Structure 1
Amino acid sequence: MTYSIAAADPDRDQVGVAVQSKFLAVGNLVPWARGGVGACAVQAFPDVTVGPRALDRLEAGEDPQAILDDLVVDDPMAAQRQTGLVAADGRAASHTGEACFAWRGHRVGPGFAIQGNVLVGPEVVDAMAEAFLAATARPLAHRLLAALEAGQAAGGEKRGMESAAVVVRQPGGGYGGNHDRLVDLRVDHDDDPITRLGELLEIRDHHFDRAPAEEWVPLDDDLTVEVAARLRGGGWLAEGQPLAHALMGYLGWENLEERWTDAVSIDPVALAHLRRHLPRSG
């Protein structure tokens, strides 16, 4: 009752999983990923021990196909289960048990493993693969979402939709820079979980991404005057207070602290947010 994609973007050092299912809170069971190691999707009677065990073996340097082959041999429910596994370098493998509900199947390509069951047909996984490969310029989370959207547009699963999730892991990529949880979003129960997941991803990007340094806007004389006036008008800049301290405080209040740059520049998204929400004072 599920379709998923486990994927890697070696150039960005990112791995992740996206999944949709006519099942409550699918993000609690199917996706597993570890920064710098790989990603795993386990579905159709998911066994929550498979993902961690597969990732442990990937981390030890084993090949994805060899890992799946061993897991299938040792799994008494292998015929009812699907598993997709991808290493951080893009090597991938997938298993579809012959007793999974039809249509069932998978597609494996450079950097991805796509699998689904109870689907309207093979066009679902084919569309997912095409969409993923066509979006190489986008961050991995958006490529994974594009694959879900394409799969649903191609007919999705026969029973409809209920929940969806996207997770992306990158070493040091999480909030604060001391863990790998770059993206971890779930829609546990919704009539259109993929659309809602996309909305959450946009909000997440707004708050937690940071523009590359070459896009930071210098706080020259004119912009410094403007930013100071807006912070002052919003009650954030007191007389004699350093501008950088006031700006940092405001960004933290707005949950934009991950977009803090330095005392002499400002992230363009943070600047646009400030202009949108703070009136200019003289």
Structure 2
Amino acid sequence: MTFSLVARCAETGMFGIAVSSSSPAVAARCAYTRAGVGAVASQNVTDPTLGPLALDAMQAGLTAVEAVAKVQAEGRFIEYRQVLAIDREGRTAIHSGPNSLGIWTHATGRDVLSAGNLLANDGVPAAIVAAFEAAPGHLGDRLVAALRAGRDAGGEAGPVHSAGLQLCDKVPWPVADLRCDWTEDDPIEAVAEAWRVYAPQLDAYVQRALDPRAAPSYGVPGDD
């Protein structure tokens, strides 16, 4: 019921994930990133423990392939799960259990991996990867372009209702965590609009957390 991608920016070391689904609040249950470590999507019949398990493994020095192997060995009901991972070197790995729903497949590219289940067709992940590789600009811009391409290639077999985008960089929290948890309209465009608004302020929000004395104006009444 989901299509997604995990990706790395080779220039900055930033990691990101973008995801969309017919289920509500997909990003709250499926998206995991960690600065300097990697990004993981845990989807299909979701087990939210698998994302942190894979990230902990990569933080301990395992590659994406080794981390996904650990997930396969230690995860419960792994035959129902789909797990995508990318590590600090841009290496990727995936587990798709045989009980994944409907049409399920994946595609890989340079610093990117996409997969989905209950897809409209088996070309969706390849379209996502191609769009990510072709898109210019910030990692967030490239994730949005890729998610739109997945939708335009057919996306899920039915209408999607939620979407999300998460980015991590040099701090221990996501520098962007944007979600549309439910809409009857287009959740991908809702997230794209949120990114358009948030992107110019991203660095300022990080600075406010690190040292508010050096932060830009807050833009509220009484603020100098």
| TM-score, normalised via structure 1 length | 0.71
Would you say the 8 A contact 1:44–1:81 is kept in 2?
A: yes
Question: What's the CA shift for 1:10?
Answer: 2.7
Answer with 1 or 2: which has the greater Rg.
Answer: 1
Between 9-18 and 66-75, the greater mean CA deviation after superposition: 66-75
CA contact (8 A) 1:95 1:106 kept: no
Q: Distance in 1 between matches of 2:27 and 2:155?
A: 17
The answer (yes or no) to whether the contact 1:40–1:85 under 8 Å persists in 2 is yes
Residue number in structure 2 paired with 1:265: none
Unaligned runs of 5+ in 1: 173-178, 211-247, 261-282
2:45 is aligned with 1:79: no
The Cα offsets for residues 163-195 of structure 1, whole Å up to 9 and x where unpaired, read as 0000000013xxxxxx44221100001120000
Q: What letter is aligned with 1:161?
A: V
The size of the alignment, in residue pairs, is 212
Runs of 4+ aligned residues of structure 1 deviating over 2 Å after TM superposition are: 73-76, 206-210
C-alpha distance in structure 2 between counterparts of 1:65 and 1:43, whole Å: 17
How many Å apart are 1:209 and its aligned residue?
Answer: 4.3
Contact 1:94 1:108 in 2 (8 A): no
1:47-196 equivalences under 5 Å are: 47-135=47-135, 137-172=136-171, 179-190=172-183, 191-196=185-190
Pair 1:253-2:210 in alignment: no
Q: Which residue of 2 aligns with 1:203?
A: 197
For 1:36 and 1:76, the matched residues in 2 are separated by 27
| Residue 12 (structure 1) shift | 0.9
TM superposition shift of 1:254: 5.0
Aligned-residue CA RMSD (Å): 2.0
How far residue 142 of structure 1 moved from its aligned partner, in angstroms, is 1.2
Q: Give the TM-score taking structure 2 as reference length.
A: 0.88
SS of 1:13's equivalent in the other structure is coil
Q: Tell me, yes or no, if the aligned pair for 2:64 and 2:87 is still in contact at 8 Å.
A: yes
User: Residue 66 of structure 1: SS of its match in structure 2?
Assistant: helix
Q: Judge conservation of contact 2:21–2:161 (CA < 8 Å) in 1.
A: yes
Contact 2:29/2:48 (<8 A) preserved: yes
Counterpart of 2:180 in structure 1: which amino acid? V
8 Å CA contact 1:92–1:110 kept in 2: the answer is: no
